[in-house]
Structure 1
Amino acid sequence: MSGIYGIYRFDAAPVDIRCLEKMKAAMAYYGPHGGGSKIVDAVGMGHLLLEINPEDRFESQPVSGERGPVVSAARLDNRAALLDAFDVSSADAPHLSDGHLVSLAFDRWGQEISSHLEGDWALAAWDQRERLLLLARDACGTANLYYYMGDGFVAFASSLKALLALPGVVKEPDLLRLAEVLVSWQHDAELTAYKSFRRLLWAHAMTVGPHGRTRIWRHWSPEGRDMLSFRRDEGYAEAFLEHYTRAVQSGLRTQKPVAAELSGGRDSGSVVVLAAPLLAAQGRSLTAYTSVPCLPPVGANERQQGNEWEMAQATAAMAGTNVRHVSIDAANFGVIRGIEYLLDLHDGPSHAACNQYWLQAMMEAITRDGAGVILSGQMGNATVSWSGNGSALLALLQGHPSVALRLFLHAEPNLFLTLKRQVLKPIVKPSLYALRRFKTPPSKCWRDYSALNPHMAVELGLDGRMRAAGHDATFIFSPLEDGRGLFFRPDFGVGYGIGTEMSAWHSISTVDPTSNLSLIEFLLRVPDDQFCQSGQRSLLIKRAFRNILPEPILSGTRKGIQAADVGHRVMRELPAFRECLNSLDSLPEAREMLDMPLMHRCLEDLVAKVDLASTGRAAMILLRGMGVGMFLRRLADARN
């Protein structure tokens, strides 16, 4: 995906071109195919171009529209509808870039533009008449947009690096954000690892006016949909397959080689089996990459798959003869280097530190093979393979009595389970969960899986913050809570922007058809009883993909885990791990933030025996802690 950057000065003075050049240089990897910049009034904007789709070669940004200049990083799924809305002729359409369409949309709809764009996009637009800067981000958070409110100015960029490159900015760690990473609590998602550097929440827009006056609002929400009502259950599956196929097709506008991440599950698998025949019809191939262990996958329990190759291979074979299937064992990639890789591209640690080595290996393989687009199914759990809430009482409380009745009658396989799951469970369990949360401090739970120093947690008031937010540190949710709603809470996660940053690092574009907004809008209107019947969950995708995906994948219940051999990998790097921990021991900031003795014990537990328990603690405590510690070490080294 392309990148954007810019500055707005509140005093109406022209932007210093040298500042824009510093921002551009810091995120230059976003623009292997050039870019442009423009200064208008007190606003400077820049664009870095990654050509992926055919129209991209006509991209020239910033675009000077009737309201003012606009800059965007956009891959639009509703391109055809916008071309019709603006009466663009069929002769002119192939030469009109998505960025130009965004400018036309801003001219027509102004601050309401976000409601008219579908796809992966982030934009900045200057309304010269209103003297307002508009920043906005897509509904699912695929495109990134960061901002920094400085003394007399606001700066924005697709990459945090551009903001950190500004002269005079203070680079201090945001301890609350680091603590939330350590306890795997994806709250306060606007925070970054740096204090005062913010992330615009996905599905949000923001205006900044004179004197820095700001207004932030949510432009898209999953709430308030009327349910569909088809005569036959098969009608839902047929319509779903049609919507899903269009979503995949929309992501295949590129003429560049296409790759796909392929696990042994339904999400990425369904993307691959739909994309392969579409590409085959054009005489094109698809290369699918699957992460596999190179050491014993002892980190997977009996409900998990530590090696997904066989399941993924079955999907690849069923998808078509134009699929080339590649295994990635990351044998030559280190766990510590994987954490450094994430810090390099994201400028902050992640709660998924154990996954970075194989992601780096996969991305380097995809880059080496020359792909321009990577297909993924990252949002599939909330969309295409949604399991359903399965609660008649919840459906009733949500105002859907007919759905509630059908769930009560058909969600469970027998009367006993109906009484247990539809009557007793939703009545008794919420009260028990509430009582447990009242009596048990969150810290008593998260200390089992976090390297956070308890003294720092007290200083930050973390337990109080968790209680105020209603967070259950055991990650067990009430049967009367809409589970899918959590996936669509912009304040509850950073979205899927890290994957976009990773692909931008390699000059590739990630496309996730499972986050297609038109597809999501359809799925939000499908009644819950279409996902839950006779004790089965995720029933919609199982019906729609019967004879399209292998039956063991459709009916499978074991979850794939790509880093199941990480315990053995840590042992292979034991001297480097001990050296890293000893280095963090000598860093005051790390000792204040981290429970260093606990991290040492986790490493020594692996030395004693690499098994399920020690591997799990290493992934959750040791590696997350090292990610935070290595970030703090970088800050300390930069100051010195």
Structure 2
Amino acid sequence: MSAIAGIYNYGSDRPVDCAHLSGMIDTLAHRGGDGHGIWCEGAIGLGHRMLWTTPESLLEQLPMTRGRLTITADARIDNREELIETLDLRHYPAEKLTDSDLILAAYQRWGEACPEKLLGDFAFAIWDAQQQTLFCARDIFGVRPFYYCTVGRVFRFASEIKALFCCPEVPRQLNEAKIGEYLEVCLADKCNTFYQHIWRLPPAHSLTVKAAGLQLRTYWTPDPRTDLRLKSPQDYADAFLEVFTEAVRCRLRSAFPLGSTLSGGLDSSSIVCLARLLLAQQQSPPLKTFSAIFDATPECDERPFINAVLRQGGLEPTFVDASALSPLTELERVLWHQDEPFCTPNLYIHWGLYTAAQQQGVRVFLDGYLGDNVVYHGWSYREDLAHSLRWIKLAQVIQGTVQRSPHVSFWSLFWDYAWNGGIRPRIPEPVLRFRRWLLGYPEPTRRLRATTNPEFAQRIGLCDRLQALEKQSTFPGLRPSRQKHYLNLVSGDIPIGLEVANKASAAFGIESRFPFTDRRVVQLCLAIPSEQRLENGLSRMFLRRAMVNLLPPEVCWRDSKGDLSSNFDRGLRELEGDRLEQVLVKEVEQFQPYVNLPALHRAYEAYKSRPSGGEIPSVWLVLSLALWLNFANHLSQNAHSDRISRLG
């Protein structure tokens, strides 16, 4: 993890203002304290902040020029051996080839198709002096951030939004459409931000900037049509273990101490157990693990599962009592680093883990994020059975679920899947419409949350916008489970969550790495049939089979999942009660145009009297928006005052 920035006057030959570029790089100093550089030539300028993590990064100096090409990059390339072979770079010592060297060589060979050939996490920009183009690209899930602005035919980009505001021409005008989407928990738009003139480069996209303008291109999308067929369930498990082991191995490349989250869940435990094995084989120092515990809210505590992994040895554990932390821990610092409101309620827990990791010198931090999205749980296998009218098999699968969850009614669940998955899709829409009229059911429409201001929603056309965004593209002929898995992988909340994690870890000089985002793992998991996920009411079966010899049995076969909501509720009520009252009741000026205040106050009062009820999402959304609006307004006023003082 490093930082990149740049300015390109693509509409003229006017030289770049190097002072502005220098200011951008200074603002990103927290992302890289091991060096910085600026390169300017006429209308183009590139900048970089370096954080050393891999052994090769110690040799890297960016921006870097090779002939007609100049690059700045925030990248870790994982298929190094393959690229060195394919690009005929074997005559160079591999340990001296940096990841930027490989990206430049890939661009020289494949041009703008080069991102398709790269595995890993990256955001980079290459200036091609011969073509007079700036070529930018971002990895498939958006692990590394990339924001840009094109005001006045000047293209500016940076790893974080705050750096763009170092250029006085970049306006801080709020994007009300994004505010509306946020209040409705719609994260489908992967391009826009909370500022009108600032955009994010979407994951799996490249962007070419030339005098004629900007061209955005998708270079990869998961293919849901591939169907993997192997002989036995164990074969699927073995195939997954082989690919997942490589994904973890690639992410262990570090010249500094390695850490990992260990929650006791399947995802983080699988990563930790594999990393422990690989590090032992390499005779490397043991992995440092960081686990949240909950002394004050024992119902959230996962120590029995965490300790089961630790008892296998070969790890250096650290525990952080998350019940002593507020969900608004170090609020101003968090808001400064995030640049936008964050709807991630458990960010404060990771903030505590990163704090502990930094104190132990960790620079690389493994994380099980996206395990659910990529491996997928398998519950929609029941929809496949209903869709294909396999009623006996559906009954058997549902019986397995009921045996693990006695409170679930067999016939209620069976009818739900039979009707929604098998019968209803075969009934013509006019007949369904007549049925709704006959039973007095309303027509299905997109309804707004009660806390969204209806006048604001009408003014910006929010309902129409949400319906357009939520109309997801589908592949005809796919089984329901494959369709849902695919839509899960291309969901807009994935890059948002990864950006939040990236900026949070960057605050501590730490690079987060996510083995489940590996393209090879994603492609394999999407191709595995749904029946390999669900067995006897237990989900994610091929992952469990793959890890059976590495995970403790109580972790491998657990059928529960940690629920941290009560600790979040307690933290807000007991540690932040006064602040909630101040922000949501007394200081409403900033968010009043966007929020239905009577509905908010009803939700807030209900939350205070019944904190475990359903009001907390609405309260948290408005609270996080209000806190960010106050903070952003404060920053804007300070920036305005600074400009006036400079003019004076």
Paired AA for residue 234 in structure 1: Q
Residues 456, 593 of structure 2: 8 Å contact kept: yes
Does residue 306 (structure 1) correspond to residue 308 (structure 2)? The answer is no
Equivalent position of 2:626 in the other structure = 629
| Equivalent in 530, 538, 541 of residue 540 of structure 2 | 538
Following TM superposition, by how much is the alpha carbon of 1:215 offset from its aligned partner in structure 2, in angstroms? 1.4
Measured in 2, the distance between the counterparts of 1:548 and 1:189 equals 37
Equivalent position of 2:525 in the other structure = 523
Equivalent position of 2:234 in the other structure = 234
Following TM superposition, by how much is the alpha carbon of 1:294 offset from its aligned partner in structure 2, in angstroms? 4.3
Q: In the TM superposition, what whole-angstrom CA distance separates every residue of 1:324-374 from its partner, at most 9, and x where no partner exists? A: 33322235533334543432111110122x323222222111111211111
Residues 190, 200 of structure 1: 8 Å contact kept: yes
Residues 413 and 566 of structure 1: is their aligned pair in 2 closer, same or farther, counting only changes over 3 Å?
closer
Q: In the TM superposition, what whole-angstrom CA distance separates every residue of 1:376-429 from its partner, at most 9, and x where no partner exists? A: 0111112235436415759999xxx9xx99987996668x99986875441335
Measured in 1, the distance between the counterparts of 2:467 and 2:125 equals 36
Does residue 483 (structure 1) correspond to residue 484 (structure 2)? The answer is yes
Following TM superposition, by how much is the alpha carbon of 1:260 offset from its aligned partner in structure 2, in angstroms? 1.0
Following TM superposition, by how much is the alpha carbon of 1:607 offset from its aligned partner in structure 2, in angstroms? 4.1
Measured in 1, the distance between the counterparts of 2:120 and 2:480 equals 32
Q: In the TM superposition, what whole-angstrom CA distance separates every residue of 1:442-496 from its partner, at most 9, and x where no partner exists? A: 335x33xxx4323322222222223334469xxxxx9577221123226455341
Q: Which moved more, 1:547-556 or 1:368-377?
A: 547-556
Residues 455 and 325 of structure 1: is their aligned pair in 2 closer, same or farther, counting only changes over 3 Å?
farther
Does residue 442 (structure 1) correspond to residue 433 (structure 2)? The answer is no
Residues 410 and 117 of structure 1: is their aligned pair in 2 closer, same or farther, counting only changes over 3 Å?
farther
3-state SS, counterpart of residue 217 of structure 2: strand
Following TM superposition, by how much is the alpha carbon of 1:431 offset from its aligned partner in structure 2, in angstroms? 8.0
Equivalent position of 2:97 in the other structure = 96
3-state SS, counterpart of residue 593 of structure 2: helix
Following TM superposition, by how much is the alpha carbon of 1:535 offset from its aligned partner in structure 2, in angstroms? 4.6
Residues 386, 417 of structure 2: 8 Å contact kept: no
Measured in 1, the distance between the counterparts of 2:481 and 2:87 equals 45
Does residue 427 (structure 1) correspond to residue 425 (structure 2)? The answer is no
| Equivalent in 315, 336, 342 of residue 344 of structure 1 | 336
Measured in 1, the distance between the counterparts of 2:598 and 2:321 equals 32
Does residue 581 (structure 1) correspond to residue 584 (structure 2)? The answer is yes
| Equivalent in 607, 611, 615 of residue 617 of structure 1 | 615
Measured in 2, the distance between the counterparts of 1:111 and 1:409 equals 51
Following TM superposition, by how much is the alpha carbon of 1:592 offset from its aligned partner in structure 2, in angstroms? 0.7
Measured in 2, the distance between the counterparts of 1:524 and 1:250 equals 21
3-state SS, counterpart of residue 151 of structure 1: helix
Measured in 1, the distance between the counterparts of 2:215 and 2:627 equals 36
Residues 224, 527 of structure 2: 8 Å contact kept: no
Residues 603 and 420 of structure 1: is their aligned pair in 2 closer, same or farther, counting only changes over 3 Å?
closer
Matches within 5 A, 1:277-356: 277-281=277-281, 282-296=283-297, 306-317=300-311, 320-330=312-322, 332-352=324-344, 354-356=345-347
Following TM superposition, by how much is the alpha carbon of 1:204 offset from its aligned partner in structure 2, in angstroms? 0.9
Q: In the TM superposition, what whole-angstrom CA distance separates every residue of 1:35-87 from its partner, at most 9, and x where no partner exists? A: 21212342111111110011111101122234421211111110111111233
Measured in 1, the distance between the counterparts of 2:259 and 2:230 equals 36
3-state SS, counterpart of residue 593 of structure 1: coil
Measured in 2, the distance between the counterparts of 1:545 and 1:523 equals 15
Measured in 2, the distance between the counterparts of 1:34 and 1:509 equals 16
3-state SS, counterpart of residue 84 of structure 1: helix
Residues 69 and 286 of structure 1: is their aligned pair in 2 closer, same or farther, counting only changes over 3 Å?
same
Paired AA for residue 9 in structure 1: N
Equivalent position of 1:84 in the other structure = 85
Residues 5, 46 of structure 2: 8 Å contact kept: yes
Paired AA for residue 228 in structure 2: L
Residues 35 and 275 of structure 1: is their aligned pair in 2 closer, same or farther, counting only changes over 3 Å?
same
Q: In the TM superposition, what whole-angstrom CA distance separates every residue of 1:204-232 from its partner, at most 9, and x where no partner exists? A: 11112114x12112111112553233223
Equivalent position of 1:468 in the other structure = 468
Residues 482 and 162 of structure 1: is their aligned pair in 2 closer, same or farther, counting only changes over 3 Å?
same
Residues 542 and 25 of structure 1: is their aligned pair in 2 closer, same or farther, counting only changes over 3 Å?
same
| Equivalent in 547, 554, 557 of residue 555 of structure 1 | 557
Residues 36, 46 of structure 1: 8 Å contact kept: yes
Residues 383, 480 of structure 2: 8 Å contact kept: no
Equivalent position of 2:375 in the other structure = 384
Measured in 2, the distance between the counterparts of 1:522 and 1:171 equals 43
RMSD over aligned Cα atoms: 3.2
Measured in 1, the distance between the counterparts of 2:491 and 2:58 equals 33
Residues 567, 606 of structure 1: 8 Å contact kept: no
Paired AA for residue 505 in structure 1: A
Paired AA for residue 169 in structure 1: V
Residues 406 and 147 of structure 1: is their aligned pair in 2 closer, same or farther, counting only changes over 3 Å?
farther
| Equivalent in 507, 513, 516 of residue 515 of structure 2 | 513
Equivalences, count: 609
Measured in 2, the distance between the counterparts of 1:480 and 1:248 equals 27
Q: Which moved more, 1:66-75 or 1:107-116?
A: 66-75
Measured in 1, the distance between the counterparts of 2:386 and 2:65 equals 49
Measured in 2, the distance between the counterparts of 1:194 and 1:452 equals 19
Following TM superposition, by how much is the alpha carbon of 1:129 offset from its aligned partner in structure 2, in angstroms? 2.5
Does residue 26 (structure 1) correspond to residue 27 (structure 2)? The answer is yes
Measured in 2, the distance between the counterparts of 1:244 and 1:41 equals 46
Paired AA for residue 494 in structure 1: P
Measured in 2, the distance between the counterparts of 1:576 and 1:269 equals 36
Residues 338 and 186 of structure 1: is their aligned pair in 2 closer, same or farther, counting only changes over 3 Å?
farther
Residues 63, 103 of structure 1: 8 Å contact kept: no
Matches within 5 A, 1:94-173: 94-173=95-174
Q: In the TM superposition, what whole-angstrom CA distance separates every residue of 1:275-332 from its partner, at most 9, and x where no partner exists? A: 11222332411222222334336xxxxxxx6222222222333xx3121333222355
Q: TM-score, normalised by structure 1?
A: 0.87
Residues 266, 385 of structure 1: 8 Å contact kept: no
3-state SS, counterpart of residue 443 of structure 1: coil
Measured in 1, the distance between the counterparts of 2:214 and 2:512 equals 31
3-state SS, counterpart of residue 375 of structure 2: coil
Measured in 1, the distance between the counterparts of 2:396 and 2:522 equals 25
Paired AA for residue 135 in structure 2: L
Measured in 2, the distance between the counterparts of 1:528 and 1:574 equals 45
Following TM superposition, by how much is the alpha carbon of 1:570 offset from its aligned partner in structure 2, in angstroms? 2.1
